[in-house]
Amino acid sequence: MDWIFEAIHDGATNNPAALRPLFDAAFDDLARSVTANGGDMPEREATFARCIGAVADDDVAREKVNSDRDVMALLDQNAELRLRTPYNIFVGGNTLDRGITIPKLIAFYYGRNPATMQADTVLQHSRMYGNRGRDDLAVTRFYTSRGVYNRLQTINTLENTLREAFESGAHDRGVVFIQTDPTNRVRPCAPNKIMMSNLVAVRPNGMLLPTRFVIMGGQAAQRHIDTLLAPALAKEGHLVEVRNELVSEILQAVEKTMEFPDEEFEWNAMHALIELYSSRTLPPSETMLLLAIRSRALGKEKSGDRTGISILGTPATRALVQDGGRAKPLLVLLQQSGTKELGWSGYPFWWPILAAPPRAEPCVFASKTAA
């Protein structure tokens, strides 16, 4: 923190133009949010001059908050961390995350990354960027690692799933908590024992799909998937009913072609949800729906949508997948062109998306539970 700020201070004092690219990137980023919120941005040149002046004139205070003694020395009469200058940076660990109030705080660098993340603790931390006015929220920024972001998104999905279940009346049937046993068969698990680090929540008509992956295995592996998809490719773009065993074989083949640099994808959840949804159709069924579509060209840079909506692409495909009358689970296979220009490996590959039935109960899958 110190050497980064020293370099910025040196630039502001001796070569302000060197900081211009950093300023313009931040200004443009904030402008998109402020404009979307209906606000007005200040004049760019005047803002740059004020920014340089604040750094060069030591108007930016840096405080380390590492102990209760540090906190007591920094509190004001309202028991909030004192803002000594117009711009303040606070750096700390456990002491800083225990409910200390910092007024007018709009940027967070969140590095907490435990092996097991407890939902209640993370939700308490989430107060730091939530429950604030929309004008403030438009200029609030939250920075963290991809792994932490994925966990936060998982917890958010779980919370929304439970809330929707309650508001819609689905709680009368219950939210289904499941895991797989050593033989990969689905069995119920206790909600109070699930571990948030290994959890997948899927809403009715929701989608489960891998994102942010690297393609591996070569073209031979992709041709093997082509062979397995023959029934669906014969009626490309239309829903085809196939046996669950074929879908399982397809998923196993696709799994071998994907590697995840940041966080592993829960393939077991896909298999478990297919088994669960199939067992709950009326009557229970050993078949499901398959949809295969070729000639897609989504770039790797835009491949991070875990909801699956933008991955589906065309409105026609979205309407087909999200048809409210569908009773069975649906596996969508989208063949991407996979060119290097789009950030991929240079050859076509298949991307799976599991779509839950619209009338299914909300489901939470835990690959691991606490002892």
pLDDT tens by residue, 343-365:
999 999 999 999 999 888 888 88
pLDDT confidence of residue 280: 82
**pLDDT tens for each residue of 41-79:** 999 999 999 999 999 998 998 888 877 677 777 777 777
Model-wide pTM > 0.85: no
Distance of CA 147 to the CA centre of its chain: 9
Say if residue 274's pLDDT is above 80. yes
* Contact between residue 138 and residue 39 where contact means Cβ atoms under 8 Å apart: yes
* Contact between residue 242 and residue 290 where contact means Cβ atoms under 8 Å apart: yes
Say if residue 171's pLDDT is above 60. no
**Angle in degrees, CA 239, 243, 248, rounded to 5:** 100
Say if residue 336's pLDDT is above 70. yes
18: tokens are 């060197």
**pLDDT tens for each residue of 84-127:** 888 988 888 777 766 677 888 888 888 877 666 666 666 666 66
* Contact between residue 66 and residue 93 where contact means Cβ atoms under 8 Å apart: yes
186: tokens are 């689905």
Q: From CA 168, how far away is CA 248, in angstroms rounded?
A: 32
User: What's the mean per-residue pLDDT of the chain?
Assistant: 85
Say if residue 132's pLDDT is above 70. yes
Say if residue 170's pLDDT is above 80. no
Average pLDDT over residues 12-32: 96
* Contact between residue 362 and residue 162 where contact means Cβ atoms under 8 Å apart: yes
**pLDDT tens for each residue of 189-231:** 777 666 666 678 888 889 999 998 999 988 999 999 999 999 8
Q: From CA 23, how far away is CA 9, in angstroms rounded?
A: 14
Range from 61-75, 130-144, 152-166, 170-184 carrying the lowest mean pLDDT:
170-184
Q: From CA 120, how far away is CA 22, in angstroms rounded?
A: 36
- How far is the CA of 95 from the CAs of 61, 152, 351, in angstroms? 19, 21, 44
Neighbour count for residue 364 (Cβ, 10 Å): 21
Q: From CA 341, how far away is CA 318, in angstroms rounded?
A: 26
